[in-house]
Chain A
Amino acid sequence: KAGVTQTPRYLIKTRGQQVTLSCSPISGHRSVSWYQQTPGQGLQFLFEYFSETQRNKGNFPGRFSGRQFSNSRSEMNVSTLELGDSALYLCASRPIQGEQETQYFGPGTRLLVL
């Protein structure tokens, strides 16, 4: 099976702009979670979606949002970018039956905000 794919892999934006990141889960996985990784804060949970509904949300401002489509693909959006949003954004997918506890991560999108 193909793994989790994320596009784009690298992105440079300026403060105040907005950005949309995309994630395609492993085939058959219906849950998608997003995490932010920074040197200072480490890995932090952003949100989880399945069945096109946000199920859980981490402690991030409303500028961070996401959605999931009927094919389980997910996008996350960050509006009004700040310098501190520079990070590696990781998407993870998991099945919602069977081995549902294991999350499988994509390669990430590295966002640089100038």
Chain B
Amino acid sequence: AQSVAQPEDQVNVAEGNPLTVKCTYSVSGNPYLFWYVQYPNRGLQFLLKYITGDNLVKGSYGFEAEFNKSQTSFHLKKPSALVSDSALYFCAVRDYMDMGRRALTFGSGTRLQVQP
């Protein structure tokens, strides 16, 4: 079975500082990994994904994530946080070996609060 852990319920960072939102995963085979962001009363907005290739993945709005196979992690990062980045962030995984099932397994979410 696949699973995702987001160990921090909330991350607080000052505007202009770098931010990191942590994610670790567990799958039987190789993972497909995703980050989504959710603003209040909205659906999930796709930020970036890792399928294969370079371990550093760049996505929307200046976000990037680093895939680390040995640590089974896929942390979300941004060099300089904006107040408008304040939202709920979800990490998700799918096991690429499980071709018959493309359902995503989501982490519990991390609330990012960027203070002005």
Among residues of A, the one whose C-beta sits closest to the C-beta of B101 is A56
Query: Which of A92, A103, A106 has the most C-beta atoms of chain B within 10 angstroms of its own C-beta?
Result: A103
Select the stretch in A14-22, A42-50, A67-75 that faces chain B.
A42-50
Q: How far is the CA of A106 from the CA of B46 in the complex (A)?
A: 11
Q: Which residues on B sit within 8 Å (CB–CB) of A31? A: 102
Q: Would B103 and A45 count as touching, CB distance under 8 A? A: yes
Contacts of B51 in A (CB 8 A): 101
Q: How many residues of B contact A (CB 8 A)?
A: 24
User: Is A66 on the interface with B (CB-CB < 8 A)?
Assistant: no
Give every chain B residue within 8 A of A58 (Cβ-Cβ).
Answer: 103
- The 10 A-B pairs at the shortest CB distance, nearest first, are namely A45-B103, A43-B106, A105-B44, A105-B43, A107-B43, A108-B43, A56-B101, A106-B43, A42-B108, A56-B103
Q: Which residues of B contact A (CB under 8 A)?
A: 32, 34, 36, 41-46, 49, 51, 90, 92, 94, 100-109
